[in-house]
Structure 1
Amino acid sequence: MSSRHGSRPTMNDVAAAAGVGLKTVSRVVNGESGVSAAMAERVRAAIAELGFRRNDSARLLRTGRTASIALLLEDIGDPFSSALSRAVEGVAAEQGCLLFTGSSAEDPDRERELALAFCARRVDGLLIVPAGADHGYLLPEIASGTPAVFLDRPAPGIAADAILSENAAGAREGVAHLIRHGHRRIGFVGDLPHIHTSAERLRGYREAMAAAHLPVDEGWIASGSTDRVRVAQAVTRLTRGPEPVTALFTANNRVTLGALHHLARLGARPALVGFDDLELADLLTPGLTVVAQDPAALGATAARVLFDRLGGDTAAARRIEIPTRLIVRGSGELPPPGG
Structure 2
Amino acid sequence: MTKDTTITRRALLQCAALSSVAAISPAAAFAAADAPYPSRPVTWVIPFAPGGATGRLSLLICERLSLRLGQPFVLEHRPGAGGNVATRSVASAAPDGYTILATSTANVINASRDPAPTTAEGNDDLVPVAGLARMPLLLLVSRQLPVKTLPEFLAHARANPGKLTVGSAGPGTVQLLSADLFRTLGGITWSVVHYRGSGPALTDLASGHIHAMFDNTAAAVDLIRSGKVRALAVSTRERAAAFPELPPVADVLPSFETSGFYGVAAPHGTPQAIVDLLNREINAALADAEINRHFAELGATPITGDSGVYAATYRAEVMHWRKLVAAQASPTR
Considering the TM-score relative to the shorter chain, is it more than 0.5?
no
Q: What TM-score comes out, normalization by structure 2 length?
A: 0.42
Structure (1 or 2) with the larger CA radius of gyration: 1
Report which of the two has the higher share of strand: 2
Structure number with the higher helix fraction is: 1
